[in-house]
Amino acid sequence: MAGLAESGSNPDVDLLYDINGLAKDAPHWFDRAMEYVGEYGLLLAMVLLVVWCWWSVRRRGGEHAASSVAALVWAPLAAGLAVLVNVPIRGFVRRPRPFLDHQGLDVLVSGKTDFSFVSDHATITMAMGVALFVANRRFGLVGIGLALLEGFCRVYMGVHYPTDVVGGFALGTAVALLLSPLAMLLLTPLLRAVDGTAWGSRLIRARRAPGREETVVSGARTGGRARSEERDLAA
């Protein structure tokens, strides 16, 4: 893999230089912003997106609330599992970081000494985005968009080849989709059991104030009891 990366005719290397070359022409403040976004910001945004989706599902409630929350719980679990799967892949491929084999790259993040293939950041964000798409398409599309942006940032920062990012996307997608049925089979009964407890139900569904009809009925019953008591006293 490293030998292939050294070839000047390799489209992977050409695309690396094209995307990373944008950093050389960008203002310093923009590069610093991309460094933060690519290293931490998009991961945080993905977590907040999952929390937002959970809050929406929790407020909506309904009979499928437990299974919906179970699908959301799978999102971070899928990301963590995908990273674990990536550990032996990195050790097997042993691809050096691009800035070790190629001169002239504008590297925005220092201290990257591990192997390059596949990108952990791309794997994590795509696994969460795809798992989120399985749970909720509207939120999932946003999550997948964030994952694509994360992949672009990793190449822009000069710490990954484009194929590192594509490999991460493929790994994250595979783990999130292929293991989703098994995960739902295990997580859904667990979340339903949690929903049956007093404290756990608050994680699954929000407490709702009585509806208008319930208020009217309750008021009518209270008024009826009051009139009945008045008639008894008059008698």
Higher pLDDT, 95 or 201: 95
Instruction: Look at residue 147 and tell me whether its pLDDT is greater than 50.
Output: yes
Max avg pLDDT among 90-94, 125-129, 188-192, 199-203: 125-129
Pairwise CA distance, residues 225 & 212, whole Å: 20
| Structural domain includes residue 104 | yes
Output the domain CATH number for residue 23: 1.20.144
Q: What percent of the chain has pLDDT over 70?
A: 81
Residue 18 lies in a domain: yes
Q: Give the model's pLDDT for residue 207.
A: 61
Q: Give the integer Cα–Cα distance in Å for 96 and 120.
A: 14
Total domain count, the chain: 1
Q: Specify the higher pLDDT residue, 191 or 154.
A: 154
Is 232 among the domain residues?
Answer: no
Residues 179-227 have pLDDT tens digits of 999 999 999 999 888 877 777 667 777 665 444 434 433 444 444 454 4
Q: What is the pLDDT of residue 73?
A: 94
Confidence of residue 59 (pLDDT cuts 50, 70, 90): confident
Asked whether residue 234 is domain-assigned, the answer is no
Burial classification of residue 199, based on how many CB atoms lie within 10 Å of its CB (0-12 exposed, 13-18 middle, 19 or more buried): exposed
In a domain, 233, yes or no: no
How far apart (Å, rounded) are the C-alpha atoms in residues 181 and 166?
24
- pTM for the full model? 0.81
